[in-house]
Structure 1
Amino acid sequence: MSNFRSPFVPSTAEKLNPTRVKLTVEIPFADLKPYLDKAYKEIAESVNIPGFRKGKVPAAVIDQRFGRGVVLQEAINEAVPNAYNAAVTEHKVVPMAQPEVEVTKLEDNELVEFTAEVDVRPEVTLPDFAAITATVDNAGDVDALVEERIELLRERFATTTEVERAAAEGDVLTLDLEAKQDGETLPDATADGITYKVGQDQNMLEGLDEAVTGLKAGESATFTSTLVGGQFRGQEAEITVTVQKVSEQKLPEVDDEFAQLISEFDTVEEMKEDLRKGAEQQVKTDQLADARDKVLEAVIEQVEVPLPESVLSRELEARRGEVQRQLASGGLTVADYLANAEDEEAETEEEFWATIDTRSEQALKAQVVLDVYADEHSIDVSQQELTELIFRKAQQNRTSPQDEINHMMEHNHMPEWMQEIRRGKALAAICADAKVTDADGNAVDTSLAVDPIEAADEVTAEEQAEENETDA
């Protein structure tokens, strides 16, 4: 990297549209001279010319042997980035992409002029955040969540015993399933050795509970149902279910012995109290996460954020590629994902990708808003905050802090990581100003809705996972 930092003048800025600027910069030869001297020196040290010691070749000889134009090109290439950065600072524009640079004038010993067209962050008028309102669902039922967690623990430590009687509610069965249409077996809808608990909603085939109830091992039943997965998702088929094994499940009693088995506590009351604390924290965390998202959505709805087409296009392409890599890592296609995702509203691949594009665009707009807020409120990132992020990433990735520092330096991630912390702090401040109520009209304290370090870690962890997949 060059040590020269000349304040190149003059420069002008022309706004081509709300998201694109054309900078015109002149570099007087007085400012270019250090770069010319450096270019001559480097060439002199890299060539062997009879009659001259290495590194002592005069400039006139280099001009004669290689051409003055070669030296000028080297010097200009070295000077332009610093000149461009100085112009960016002077005109207070925030680039969102690499500039398109063109040398438009070269008068030897006089001046060099170049233009740089670049996509820039649009000017954004922020709303009164104290006037932002949002409504979230009531906090979850803590008692119900505690009972759910206890039941999950009982399931985990349950015992099963194979029985010869007919299947009844609560039994654990081993099943074979075969689906047919017009008498033809559908391979994609056929499976053997499925474990299924009768009476427990497992998002399986409608009518399966009724079909297996009363069957003994070795017996079969046939019923008609709508397929819920695979390429025949949503189509009706004739299903034959065969019970291979019936097992009776015995859940442990919720008593002190159970508490000692599954936890560090001696009594069931202590265990439940600990579960309650965790449940209270969970429902509050979920509600605050919902509040954070709702506030940011409300802000974006009130702010006009034009985006550079090329920047948006690259963002959409990158996000689609990331989703495709995630699906591929799980051996899934989009169709497979849609067939099995419970909360996915999209029914077709076109709808799925349209949703991904919309979310990506909204995320980019949110970044712009948060960056503008951070600039207007002079939000800084301390060394302690960056250190905290590094330690958190090390704990999450089961590496050492030094490993994370090495990764950060190797990939030049420090500016990105600090920017994500800055955005997290901006979002925390915005959420604290906004007014959020639950469905019953009760105020929700959003002062702790965002942990800036945690928010930064979530974003950088996604980027690092994508980076690792790309490297692999």
Structure 2
Amino acid sequence: MPACVRRCVRPSETTTTTSGHARPLCRRLCGDPRQNPGISHQGDRTVKSAVETLNPTRVRLTVEVPFEELKDSLDAAYKKINQQVTVKGFRKGKIPARVIDQRFGRGAVLEEAVNDALPKLYTEAVNEAEISPLGQPEVDITELKDGETLNFTAEVDIRPTIEIPDYSGIEITVDAIEVTDEDVEKAVEELRGRFASTTPVERAAGDGDVITVDLEAKVDGEVLQDGVAEGVSYTIGSGELLDGIDEAVKGLEAGGEATFTSQLKGGSAAGKDAEVTVKVTAVAQRELPELDDDFAQLASEFDTLEELKADSRKRLTTMKQYDQATQAQERVLEELLKLVEIPMPEKLLEDEVNTRKHNLEHHQLGQMGLDLAKYLEIQGKSQEEFDTETQEAAVKGIKTQFILDELVSKEQLNVNQEELTEHLMRRAASSGMSPDQFAKAVVEGNQVQVLVGEVARGKALALVVESAKVVDTNGETVDMSDDEDETVEAAAETVESVVDGDEAKGEEKPGA
């Protein structure tokens, strides 16, 4: 639910503070008016409202409020001011209204009353107009006459009207699922490597050896504050450290050192070329266990090596099936978006672009020790290219949310407790929190409906994928209807990545 926003509007001539100085009227509007079903017209209401369409995604509400409609808010204003001020000769909270008017000005009371009444009056106007507002409105008090009337306007973005086309004709091609013997051998070798042992040796280091090194990085001749590390363990050939280190350390014995140039991947000088000095303090030979039934029993629950290999093939097939399903969802979504023309709310797009840039700069890149300039340098992008890409991604995210929300409504898709719980568990795992911690944070942040929306959009996308024709690169038809629960959750994850945005996707970084 959107946070409350305090916005000031043009002051009335009768609007004064308790010190007698003029002050703009301010008000707070919170949340989505559609989520306040308890507020509605009752009896013979005399509040008048009209809607003017400014463009397909923005409207202006004009509201005329007879002064008697402010009675409850005026009473509340006097009561609130009563609790805040002291007047000699009167007990706190028992100051007559006429005395408050005389001492502090009627304008102060009117300001408090209008601030109290505006959210309800705005919500009533929204409900009567049957519009779906997006974000906070821009409210302007156009007239406030004490004892007569309150008139105001509210401009707000709205969801555009969307016609869902026939999507059953979507056709896409995905990669075929192929697990080769080489894939299986590689997986078994990786498992074998986890059970390797090391034996210290007195010789020059070579491929596959495990060395212990001290590192020192300089940029422009100065040692970086975060450019010194000691006792680092590294397997030659693994590619897990700096580019160029393998060539530098090969042939060195314990006590030997070398200097090489490498572009730093992180830290205070990320993206810059550094002069790195590496000193080898120990060399150990890596010894792998024999590939036999004994290894299978050591490394797994299987009795034979053949059983272990068969399980590895099965796991690789499952992984490729998941990748294929994700690819299908992404490509179907791309085709679906091409079928629908959606006008874009300008203010919503501006806010989304700013949010994406803020999240990238202050969360993702901050945790990587990078700023935007260094990130763009590493990516080989100009500021203009980055701005264009961010804008395009924001447009895609908003359009995706609009069309899938419309599909949820059209197809009357509901989210049950089991689906919501499964989604919550996955989101908790990806955030590094326990399910209980994550659930508490969701409830306290009033984000339950956000999670429900994510699952519902996943169901909508899964529905479109199921109706699409999906073939692989071998020309074989791919059945996308298997295991509905996993399909929906995978689709929800695909939608989240598009709607939420992840500009640094693919970079080495902590989860944002």
Alpha-carbon distance in structure 2 between the residues aligned to 1:244 and 1:323: 39
Output the amino acid matched with 1:99: P
Alpha-carbon distance in structure 2 between the residues aligned to 1:405 and 1:213: 51
Q: With the length of structure 2 as denominator, give the TM-score of the two structures.
A: 0.71
* C-alpha displacement of 1:138: 1.7
Flag the 1:175–1:313 CA change in 2: closer, same or farther, 3 A: same
Q: Secondary structure at the match of 2:54?
A: strand
Q: 2:370 aligns with which of 317, 332, 340?
A: 332
Q: 1:375 aligns with which of 393, 397, 409?
A: 409
Flag the 1:4–1:302 CA change in 2: closer, same or farther, 3 A: closer
Matched, 1:406 2:443: no
Alpha-carbon distance in structure 2 between the residues aligned to 1:367 and 1:355: 18
Q: Does structure 2 conserve the Cα–Cα contact (< 8 Å) formed by 1:228 and 1:339?
A: no
Output the amino acid matched with 1:257: D
* C-alpha displacement of 1:363: 1.6
Output the amino acid matched with 2:464: I
Q: Does structure 1 conserve the Cα–Cα contact (< 8 Å) formed by 2:262 and 2:275?
A: no
Output the amino acid matched with 1:253: E
* C-alpha displacement of 1:24: 1.0
Q: Secondary structure at the match of 1:98?
A: strand
Matched, 1:347 2:380: yes
Give the equivalent residue in structure 1 for 2:320: 283
Q: 2:334 aligns with which of 297, 305, 322?
A: 297
Q: Does structure 2 conserve the Cα–Cα contact (< 8 Å) formed by 1:131 and 1:434?
A: yes
* C-alpha displacement of 1:400: 5.2
Give the equivalent residue in structure 1 for 2:308: 271
Q: Does structure 2 conserve the Cα–Cα contact (< 8 Å) formed by 1:142 and 1:279?
A: no
Q: Secondary structure at the match of 1:97?
A: strand
Matched, 1:66 2:99: no
Gaps of 5+ in 1: 341-345, 464-472
Alpha-carbon distance in structure 2 between the residues aligned to 1:427 and 1:264: 38
Gaps of 5+ in 2: 1-29, 31-35, 502-512
Alpha-carbon distance in structure 2 between the residues aligned to 1:361 and 1:262: 48
Flag the 1:434–1:226 CA change in 2: closer, same or farther, 3 A: farther
Alpha-carbon distance in structure 1 between the residues aligned to 2:73 and 2:491: 42
CA RMSD of aligned residues (A): 4.5
Q: Does structure 1 conserve the Cα–Cα contact (< 8 Å) formed by 2:179 and 2:313?
A: no
Alpha-carbon distance in structure 2 between the residues aligned to 1:268 and 1:439: 32
Q: 2:81 aligns with which of 43, 61, 66?
A: 43
Q: Does structure 2 conserve the Cα–Cα contact (< 8 Å) formed by 1:104 and 1:113?
A: yes
Q: Does structure 1 conserve the Cα–Cα contact (< 8 Å) formed by 2:134 and 2:348?
A: yes
Q: Does structure 2 conserve the Cα–Cα contact (< 8 Å) formed by 1:105 and 1:114?
A: yes
Task: For residues 81-112 of structure 1, give each alpha carbon's deviation from its aligned partner in whole angstroms, at most 9, with x where no partner exists.
Answer: 12212222332322222111011123444432
Matched, 1:309 2:336: no
Q: Does structure 2 conserve the Cα–Cα contact (< 8 Å) formed by 1:162 and 1:247?
A: yes
Matched, 1:436 2:473: no
Give the equivalent residue in structure 1 for 2:138: 100
Matched, 1:20 2:53: no
How is 1:313-324 mapped onto 2 (pairs within 5 angstroms)?
Answer: 313-324=350-361
Task: For residues 42-64 of structure 1, give each alpha carbon's deviation from its aligned partner in whole angstroms, at most 9, with x where no partner exists.
Answer: 33444444565554444444333
Output the amino acid matched with 1:330: M
Matched, 1:362 2:431: no
Alpha-carbon distance in structure 2 between the residues aligned to 1:30 and 1:232: 65
Flag the 1:99–1:160 CA change in 2: closer, same or farther, 3 A: same
Matched, 1:86 2:124: yes
Matched, 1:123 2:149: no
* C-alpha displacement of 1:161: 4.0
Q: Secondary structure at the match of 1:306?
A: coil
Flag the 1:356–1:156 CA change in 2: closer, same or farther, 3 A: farther
Alpha-carbon distance in structure 2 between the residues aligned to 1:107 and 1:327: 53
Alpha-carbon distance in structure 2 between the residues aligned to 1:368 and 1:71: 42
* C-alpha displacement of 1:293: 1.4
* C-alpha displacement of 1:77: 1.6
Alpha-carbon distance in structure 1 between the residues aligned to 2:76 and 2:258: 86
Q: With the length of structure 1 as denominator, give the TM-score of the two structures.
A: 0.76
Output the amino acid matched with 1:265: F
Deviates more, 1:373-382 or 1:50-59: 50-59
Alpha-carbon distance in structure 2 between the residues aligned to 1:450 and 1:66: 60
Q: Does structure 1 conserve the Cα–Cα contact (< 8 Å) formed by 2:216 and 2:278?
A: yes
Alpha-carbon distance in structure 1 between the residues aligned to 2:302 and 2:175: 33
Output the amino acid matched with 1:264: E
Flag the 1:444–1:32 CA change in 2: closer, same or farther, 3 A: farther
Matched, 1:418 2:452: yes
Flag the 1:332–1:104 CA change in 2: closer, same or farther, 3 A: closer
Q: Does structure 2 conserve the Cα–Cα contact (< 8 Å) formed by 1:178 and 1:186?
A: no
Output the amino acid matched with 1:302: L
Q: Does structure 2 conserve the Cα–Cα contact (< 8 Å) formed by 1:102 and 1:116?
A: yes
Aligned length: 450
Task: For residues 279-333 of structure 1, give each alpha carbon's deviation from its aligned partner in whole angstroms, at most 9, with x where no partner exists.
Answer: 2221111111111111112222332233233322222222122222212212234
Alpha-carbon distance in structure 1 between the residues aligned to 2:466 and 2:415: 19
Matched, 1:147 2:185: yes
Alpha-carbon distance in structure 1 between the residues aligned to 2:203 and 2:364: 45
Flag the 1:317–1:252 CA change in 2: closer, same or farther, 3 A: same
Q: Does structure 2 conserve the Cα–Cα contact (< 8 Å) formed by 1:136 and 1:436?
A: yes
Alpha-carbon distance in structure 1 between the residues aligned to 2:96 and 2:278: 91
Q: Does structure 1 conserve the Cα–Cα contact (< 8 Å) formed by 2:242 and 2:264?
A: no
Alpha-carbon distance in structure 1 between the residues aligned to 2:82 and 2:162: 51
